[in-house]
Structure formats: structure tokens, C-alpha cells
Amino acid sequence: MTEKTEQPLLELGWREWVALPQLGIPALKCKVDTGARSSALHAFSVEEFNKDGARWVRFGLHPRQHDNEQVIWCEAPVSDVRQVTDSGGHTTERYFITTELQIGTQVFPISMSLTNRDTMLFRMLLGREAMKGRFSVNPAVSYRQGKKPLD
């Protein structure tokens, strides 16, 4: 009989640097939010279009906090459209995409909604669905998985 040995969960701080390589985003400051079920990415000028018979979205993203000048334009297939209730209790319909997330040495697919986060401090929220079985969170620390990569 063999014993099942579980890998220890990697620890995240309350904020981490992430990359979204399939979207061309090399570094993005992300708030780790165990109170949010799903993850959310800042997006503006979201436009749906058809590509090879599938639903896609094109959107802009301001990757740096407090900087609306730099823009990265992204395209991704739509994985879902559903109602999301934000922390203020407001429900909106949002596009969801699935893309690769890199955090530290880990790279894995993540589902996230697109929403305008211009008034929020962080351009991305990492929700508990994405963290489940992979990470634990220590709210007393930041950037446990490494500092921002050099530009």
C-alpha cells in the first residue's frame, strides 16, 4: 500500500506580480482576493467579434497602476458570458476568457472576467477558484512569488 503524499501549497502574499503571456502582458500587479470567487482583469473598449466561427473579444488594458497612457491591446476567445456580483452588490454581465497565468514558477490556465477597473488600485484580482489546490495566502506579506520582472 502506498501513501499519497501531497505537495505543500505555495504561499502567496496579499499582492503578487503575475504575467499573462498569451495576452502579451509580461508583468501585472495583482491583488490576491480570497473573498472573490472568480478572477477579474481590467479591460476597456471591450468589443466582441467573430474569428473562425467563434466568439472572441478585443480589449485594451492599462498594465500600470495610475498610468492610463500605456495600453496593451489583447484578443482572446470568449469562454463564457455570465452575471457577476461585485463587492458592492452590483450585478453586471461580463465576458469570461481563459488564458495562461504565470505566477512565480507556476503556469496554468485561468478563467477570468473582463471589467473596467480604472477606479480600482489593482488591474487584476486573483480569486479563490484559481488558487484552490495550488496556493495558500498569507495576508501579512507581499510578493512571496517574486518581484516584478525587469522591463
Q: Is the pLDDT of residue 81 over 60?
A: yes
Cell (9 digits) for 33: 482576493
Q: Cβ distance 23 to 109 under 8 Å? A: no
- Are 32 and 16 in contact by the 8 Å Cβ rule? The answer is yes
Predicted confidence at residue 66, as pLDDT, reads: 82
Q: What is the pLDDT of residues 99-119, one digit of tens each?
A: 999 998 899 999 999 999 888
pLDDT(151) > 50: no
pLDDT band at residue 4 using 50, 70 and 90 as cut-offs: low
The mean pLDDT value for 25-40 works out to 94
Determine the average pLDDT of the residues in 41-52.
96
Round to the nearest angstrom and report the end-to-end CA distance of the chain: 50
CA distances from 33 to 48, 75, 121, 130 (A): 28, 25, 13, 10
* Contact between 98 and 129 (Cβ < 8 Å): no
